[in-house]
């Protein structure tokens, strides 16, 4: 028999360097709700969130620029991630902008919710938790 956790919705979280503190703070505010999800994160973001929210189980992938963004993309393509929260820094030129665009494209292609700020992420996790 499957455990209840095996049917938990899956969520990937990523944050650009200047947005990692915001992601940490957002995760702290929503730790109880996030505990209902199977969580994936790029390496650095996952480490920061895990340190702030030790009760969360987070599958950490590689750092974004080292391939973590592509790993998240593969999980989306394999339908192992049902939603993506990516706190994008709107004020800094992005050296790996093509990786961001690839994740946006995959989110559109596979029709999964994509949140790029806290306000949208709040709606996303609240809505998914009601299913």
Known catalytic residues? 69
Residue 60 in 3-state DSSP?
Answer: strand
Tell me how many degrees the CA angle 126-24-29 measures, rounded to the nearest 5: 40
Rounded Cα distance between 65 and 76, Å, is: 18
Q: Select from 48, 83, 43 the least CA-distant residue to 60.
A: 43
């Amino acid at each position: 028999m499957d455990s209840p956790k095996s049917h938990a919705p899956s969520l990937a979280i990523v944050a650009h360097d200047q947005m990692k503190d915001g992601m940490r703070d957002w995760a702290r505010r929503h730790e109880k709700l996030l505990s209902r999800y199977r969580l994936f994160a790029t390496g650095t973001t996952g480490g920061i969130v895990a340190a702030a929210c030790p009760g969360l189980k987070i599958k950490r992938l590689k750092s974004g620029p080292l391939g973590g963004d592509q790993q998240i993309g593969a999980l989306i393509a394999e339908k192992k991630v049902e939603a993506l929260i990516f706190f994008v820094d709107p004020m800094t030129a992005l050296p790996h902008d093509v990786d961001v665009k690839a994740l946006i494209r995959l989110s559109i292609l596979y029709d999964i919710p994509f949140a790029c700020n806290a306000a949208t992420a709040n709606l996303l996790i609240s809505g998914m938790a009601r299913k």
